[in-house]
Amino acid sequence: MTSRDVITLSVLLGVAVFLDVALIWGPTLASVLLSFTSWDGLSPIKPIGTRNYHAIFETYPLFWPAARHNLLWLAFLGLVATPLGLLLAVLLDKQIRFTRFYQSALFLPVVLSLAIVGFISQLVFSRDYGALNSVLGRGAHPVDWLGDPHLNIWVMMVAASWRHVGYVMILYLAGLKAVDQSLKESAAIDGANEVQTFFRVTFPTLRPVNIIVLVITVIEALRAFDIVYVVNSGRNGLELLSVLVFDNIVGEASRIGFGSALAVILFVICLGFIVVYLSRILRQEDQ
């Protein structure tokens, strides 16, 4: 390596690492420390040990439902939405007509802002005025899609999938472009049908994308926030950990110590996935 190479590497890597450490990891560490305090953002910070954590596990009634909803969310995205996104990407990767129309239609929900997603949920799922009850002919016995705490989380997961499928499709589509066509051709010549070709040839070469999609699915599930927040601020059956954190520290309520403790719990769950991923990479590098 020449000294110019060393300079290029250290400057560009240095900037990236500096930003990451100063703006992401430093503040994260600070929040971990704050989680052991009571602070409203204004008065002096008061250390209170693990009291926030006790309060979360013992008296905060929203915590366990929220944690449960996050796991349910993960299962739904992972088992329903992600496979659907893959299927659609594979179908769209064929040389078919109208593919740009199909791609655009599926990707559209991804680009929509929060405001319109909230409005659409109201349009479709409103008990009294929404389209779904009209289409199903439930005018006389309307289903309370958004207000029934046993039902609304499922409605929201379907709505979240509406966007998630688009993400997954786009990533797989980019990945599929990198799959060697000649491999597929030779498999076809060997008499493999399309499904066999997919599982024997295409899917294994998609491994890097699979990891990406897996990570995205996990992130989306653990950090799911906006869709629920815009529908009813994440209450009444729609509690999620990220919403609880937001309510406690970002909103007007400034229970920063308490909210930080919630964030740390969410962080630790994320960390679980980070460790799994990390061990994967290390294994990969050993090979």
Partner 1 sequence: MAQYPAGQSPAPSTVGHPSRRAVLRGSTLAAGAVTLPGLLAACGGGAGGDAGDKTVSFGSNHSDPVDKAAMEASLKAYEAKSGKTVKINTVSHNDFQTNISRYLQGNPDDVFSWFAGNRMQFFAKKGLAADISDIWQGFDGFTPALKAASTGEDNKQYFVPFYYYPWAVFYRKSVWQQRGYQAPKTWDEYRALAARMKSDGLIPISLGDKDGWPAMGTFDYIDMRLNGYDFHISLMAGKEDWTGPKVKGVFDTWKSILAYTQEAPNGRTWQEAANTLVNKQAGMHTLGMFVGQQFKPEELDDLDYFPYPVIDPANGQDAVEAPIDGFMVSKKAKNLAGAKDLMKFLAGPQAEDAFLKVFPSNVACHAKADTASYNALQKKAVELVSGAKHISQFMDRDTRPDFAQTVMIPAIQQFLGNPNDVDNILRSIEAQKKTIFAAE
Partner 2 sequence: MTAVATSVEGFRRQAPRPARLLLHAFLALVSLGWLAPLALAVYASLRPYHETAEDGYFSLPRTLTLHYYASAWRDAELTKYFLNSLLIAVPGVVLTLFLASFVAFAITRVRLRFGVPLLVLFTAGNLLPPQIIVVPLYELFKRVPLPASMSDSLTLYDSYWGVIAIHVAFQTGFCVFVLANYMRTVPYEITEAARVDGAGVWLQYWRVILPLCRPALAALGTLEFTWMYNDFLWALVLMSTGDKMPVTSALNNLRGQFFTDYNLLAAGAVIVALPTMVVFFALQRQFIAGLTLGSSKG
Binds partner 2 by CB under 8 A, chosen from 71, 75, 104, 253: 104
β-sheet bridge partners, residue 46: 38
**Quick check: 91 binds partner 2 (CB under 8 A)?**
yes
CA Rg value for the chain: 23
Q: At what angle do helices 256-286 and 51-58 cross, to 10 degrees?
A: 90
Site string for partner 1, 258-277 (x = CB under 8 A): x-------------------
Residue span binding partner 2 (CB under 8 A) among the ranges 52-60, 73-81, 145-153, 256-264: 256-264
Site string for partner 1, 110-149 (x = CB under 8 A): ------------x---xxxx--------------xxxxxx
- Residue 75 to residues 79, 94, 222, Cα–Cα distance (Å): 6, 29, 11
* Terminal Cα-to-Cα distance of the chain (whole angstroms): 25
Torsion angles phi and psi, residue 145, rounded to 5? -55, -40
**Quick check: 23 binds partner 2 (CB under 8 A)?**
yes
Provide the token pair at 129.
């005025």
Chosen from partner 2, partner 1, none, partner binding at 31 (C-beta under 5 to 8 Å by type) = partner 2
Cβ at position 117, least distance to partner 2 in Å = 9
Q: Environment class of residue 163 by beta-carbon count within 10 Å: exposed (0-12), middle (13-18) or buried (19+)?
A: buried
Enumerate binding residues for partner 1 (CB under 8 A). Answer: 38, 40-43, 51, 55, 59-62, 122, 126-129, 144-149, 152, 232-233, 235-236, 239, 244, 247-248, 250-255, 257-258
